[in-house]
Structure 1
């Protein structure tokens, strides 16, 4: 348990980072950061990273749901997460929409 932080690379160039794991405070598994530098957005890095993160988190037998939150006006994030099956929980967490993926 705890947080895993990973850099996202394109060859030798860092294009973003991710932080995910089990939140003791919230009592659920979450992807708390998935950030791609604006210069590298819309090139598939977020989609590939999200796929790998979900795959890795799914290997944990205790992980049956993964939560992620984002600002309501971030339509690109909303579209990406919904493509992977994340669904709106109807809850707001720190002014962000909270989505959940059931594994």
Structure 2
């Protein structure tokens, strides 16, 4: 099963904003509608729909700004109906690959809610390392892409 990131368009916008995490995960990630609205404040940010083959399964928001060579993965979510299938890991890798290719990134930065142990485990297993920094109450992690 291939996982790829596609632009948000008129054709998929409503479906993207209908995607949801489990109720107990709702404090860990903003809704996709809020994330897309944030691109008004972050005009360089790229909202992307996550597709597994041709089925919409999730959403990511990448922001190339802020730190040169270190874009931020602002959001990553997989709809509750598709969780537990390894799609979060594949979406994460697709986002990191996109950042490396499109932004010539040397590393990728992300933050997560400290009580989200599932996200922490995923990010650690994907090569991200905690920096010791905290931003807006969230733990900062970085994955180096190039030496």
Q: What TM bracket, shorter-length normalisation?
A: 0.7 to 0.9
Aligned-partner Cα distance in 2 for 1:63–1:6: 18
Q: Please identify runs of 4+ aligned residues in structure 1 that moved more than 6 A.
A: none
- 1:44 matched to 2:80: no
State how many pairs are aligned: 102
How well do the aligned residues superpose, as a CA RMSD in angstroms?
Answer: 2.1
SS at match of 1:63: coil
Query: Counting strand residues as a fraction of each chain, which structure ranks higher?
Result: 1
Q: Which runs of 5+ in 1 are unaligned?
A: none
Aligned-partner Cα distance in 1 for 2:117–2:96: 20
SS at match of 1:2: coil
Query: Counting helix residues as a fraction of each chain, which structure ranks higher?
Result: 2
Aligned-partner Cα distance in 1 for 2:144–2:90: 19
Structure number with greater Rg is 2
1:52 is displaced (CA, Å) by 1.1
* 2:100 paired residue number: 58
TM-score, L = length of structure 1: 0.85
**Distance 1:10-1:65 versus aligned 2 partners, 3 A rule:** closer
- 1:21-100 pair list within 5 angstroms: 21-24=63-66, 28-60=70-102, 62-100=104-142
